[in-house]
C-alpha cells in the first residue's frame, strides 16, 4: 500500500502564495474590471441605473421574439476548425471603406446615450479612437456632431440619419455632420414608424425623465445616477433642443412613412461622401441598393426593436454576400454579445459587425471603463476563437466559413 510521506509545512512558501491585497473602496470599478462576459456587465448595469433606463437598452419590440431569434441564430453557428496551423500571431484588423480598423467592430448609433451615463457619446468615441475603431453618432443623440468632433478629434466618425418628414430638418443635420468632418452617413431605413416597445410604454420613458411619485423611490435607490443627471448639462436631444414629450411623439415627428428609394437618390445629391444603408431585411432590397452605388449595407432588425418576427440578419447574411458582396461592403448587427458572435458574422461573410446593446451595458456599468471592458472581452474571445479554428487573420477565417445549424 502506498502511503503519503508527511513533512512539516513550509509556511514561508505558503505565505508567498497569498495575495496580500487590501479591499478596494471602489467596489464597482473592481467589479467592472473583473467581468468576464457582457452578460456580467449587464448585471452590474442593472444595479447602477433606474429601471426605465436599463429597460430601454435591454428591451425590444412587443414580445421580444425577434431579438431572441437573433440570439438563437448566433448560438446555432458552427465553425470550421483547422488544426496544425500557425496561430502564434493573430491579426484581427480589417479594412473598412479603405481604412484600417483594428477589429471588425463598429460602434453603432444609439439614441439618448447620456441617459445611460452622464458623459455620454464622447467617452464612447474616446474608446473607439483609442482602439482604432469607428464611432457612429445618432440623429437622436445627446451630443451634437460639432460637440463630438471638438471633444474627440482623433476618431473615425460616421453619422446616422433618418430622412425626416421635414427635409429641411434633415438638411440641417447633414450640414452639421459635414462641417464637423464626419466621414460617412448611415441612412436608417427600417423605421417608417416606431416599433411598439412594451417596456418603454409601461415605464413612461421621456427625455428628460419626468419626476413622478414613483420617481422619488427611483432617486433613493439610484442616487449616483440621479446626482450625475442633475449636476451636469441638461439632458436633451442635441438635434431637438427643448423637446419634453414621450418618445413615441418624437418618433412620429422624425420618422417619415413615405420614404422611398428615390429619397436615397436625393440624399446622394446632397452628400458627397460614402452612404451606408442600415436596416436592410431582404435580398431584393440589397440588390437594388448595391445597384444605386451605396458604399455599405447593414443587415439589421434594429436589435429586435422594430419589426417583431422579422428576418434574422445573420441568417440573411450568406445569400446577400453571395449576391452583392463583391459590389458593396456588408455589415450585420443585432444581438452581438461576444467575440464568438463577431467571428460568426465574419465567417458568414460580413465585413464587420455593429455593436449597440453590448457597449451600452458597459457604459451603464462603468462609464468609459465599462465600454473599454466590452472591447477587451470581444477582442479576447475573438482572438481565442480564431486561434482555436486555425485562422491567423480575418481573411483566413472568412475562407474557412461557417454554417448555421438548423436545430
In a domain, 260, yes or no: yes
Mean pLDDT per 10-residue interval, the chain, length 407 residues: 76 69 71 95 95 91 93 96 96 98 97 92 97 96 93 95 83 92 95 85 72 63 87 80 60 78 93 96 97 97 91 96 97 96 98 97 97 98 98 96 88
Query: Per the structure, how many domains does the chain have?
Result: 1
Distance spanning both ends of the chain, measured CA to CA: 52
In a domain, 405, yes or no: no
Q: Residue 111: which H helix or E strand, with range? A: none
In a domain, 378, yes or no: yes
At 153, give phi and psi (nearest 5°): -85, -20
Cell numbers at residue 283, please?
435580398
In a domain, 149, yes or no: yes
In a domain, 214, yes or no: yes
DSSP line for 64-98: -HHHHHHHHHHHTEEE----S---SS-B--EEETT
Cell numbers at residue 350, please?
460580413
What's the pLDDT at 241?
A: 65
Give pLDDT tens digits for 96-152: 999 999 999 999 999 889 999 999 999 999 999 999 999 999 998 999 999 999 999
Please tell me the distance from the alpha carbon of residue 58 to that of residue 377, in angstroms, as a whole number. Answer: 19
What's the pLDDT at 396?
A: 97
At 126, give phi and psi (nearest 5°): -60, -45
Residues assigned a catalytic role? 302
Asked if residue 105 lies in contact with residue 355, where contact means CB atoms within 8 angstroms, the answer is: yes
Q: What is the CATH number of the domain that holds 368?
A: 3.20.20.70
In a domain, 3, yes or no: no
Query: pTM here?
Result: 0.91
In a domain, 10, yes or no: no
In a domain, 21, yes or no: no
What's the pLDDT at 27?
A: 78
Domain that holds residue 161: 27-398
Amino acid at each position: 500500500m502506498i502511503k503519503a510521506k508527511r513533512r512539516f509545512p513550509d509556511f514561508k512558501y505558503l505565505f508567498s502564495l497569498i495575495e496580500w491585497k487590501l479591499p478596494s473602496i471602489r467596489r464597482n470599478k473592481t467589479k467592472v474590471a473583473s467581468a468576464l462576459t457582457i452578460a456580467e456587465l449587464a448585471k452590474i448595469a442593472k444595479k447602477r441605473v433606474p429601471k426605465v433606463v436599463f429597460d430601454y437598452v435591454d428591451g425590444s419590440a412587443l414580445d421580444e421574439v425577434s431579438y431572441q431569434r437573433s440570439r438563437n441564430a448566433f448560438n446555432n453557428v458552427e465553425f470550421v476548425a483547422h488544426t496544425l496551423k500557425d496561430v502564434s500571431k493573430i491579426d484581427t484588423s480589417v479594412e473598412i471603406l479603405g481604412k484600417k480598423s483594428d477589429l471588425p467592430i463598429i460602434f453603432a448609433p444609439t439614441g439618448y446615450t447620456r441617459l445611460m451615463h452622464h458623459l455620454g457619446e464622447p467617452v464612447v468615441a474616446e474608446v473607439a479612437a483609442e482602439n482604432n475603431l469607428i464611432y457612429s453618432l445618432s440623429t437622436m443623440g445627446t451630443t451634437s456632431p460639432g460637440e463630438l468632433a471638438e471633444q474627440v478629434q482623433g476618431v473615425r466618425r460616421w453619422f446616422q440619419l433618418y430622412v425626416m418628414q421635414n427635409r429641411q430638418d434633415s438638411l440641417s443635420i447633414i450640414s452639421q455632420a459635414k462641417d464637423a468632418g464626419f466621414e460617412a452617413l448611415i441612412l436608417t431605413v427600417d423605421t417608417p414608424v416606431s416599433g411598439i416597445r412594451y417596456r418603454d410604454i409601461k415605464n413612461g420613458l421621456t427625455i428628460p425623465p419626468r419626476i413622478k411619485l414613483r420617481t422619488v423611490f427611483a432617486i433613493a435607490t439610484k442616487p449616483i445616477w440621479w446626482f450625475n443627471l442633475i449636476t451636469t448639462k441638461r439632458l436633451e436631444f442635441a438635434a431637438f433642443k427643448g423637446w419634453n414629450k414621450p418618445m413615441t411623439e418624437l418618433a412620429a415627428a422624425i420618422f417619415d412613412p413615405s420614404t422611398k428609394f428615390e429619397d436615397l437618390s436625393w440624399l446622394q445629391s446632397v452628400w458627397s461622401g460614402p452612404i451606408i444603408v442600415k436596416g436592410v431585411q431582404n435580398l431584393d432590397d440589397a440588390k437594388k441598393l448595391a445597384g444605386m452605388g451605396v458604399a455599405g449595407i447593414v443587415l439589421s432588425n434594429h436589435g429586435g426593436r422594430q419589426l417583431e418576427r422579422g428576418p434574422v440578419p445573420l441568417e440573411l447574411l450568406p445569400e446577400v454576400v453571395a449576391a452583392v458582396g463583391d459590389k458593396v461592403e456588408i455589415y450585420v448587427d443585432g444581438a452581438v454579445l461576444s467575440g464568438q458572435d463577431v467571428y460568426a458574422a465574419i465567417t458568414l461573410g460580413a465585413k464587420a459587425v455593429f455593436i449597440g446593446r453590448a457597449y451600452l451595458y458597459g457604459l451603464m456599468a462603468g462609464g468609459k471603463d465599462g465600454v473599454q471592458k466590452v472591447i477587451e472581452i470581444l477582442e479576447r474571445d475573438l482572438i481565442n476563437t480564431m486561434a482555436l479554428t486555425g485562422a491567423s487573420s480575418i481573411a483566413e477565417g472568412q475562407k474557412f466559413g461557417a454554417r448555421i445549424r438548423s436545430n
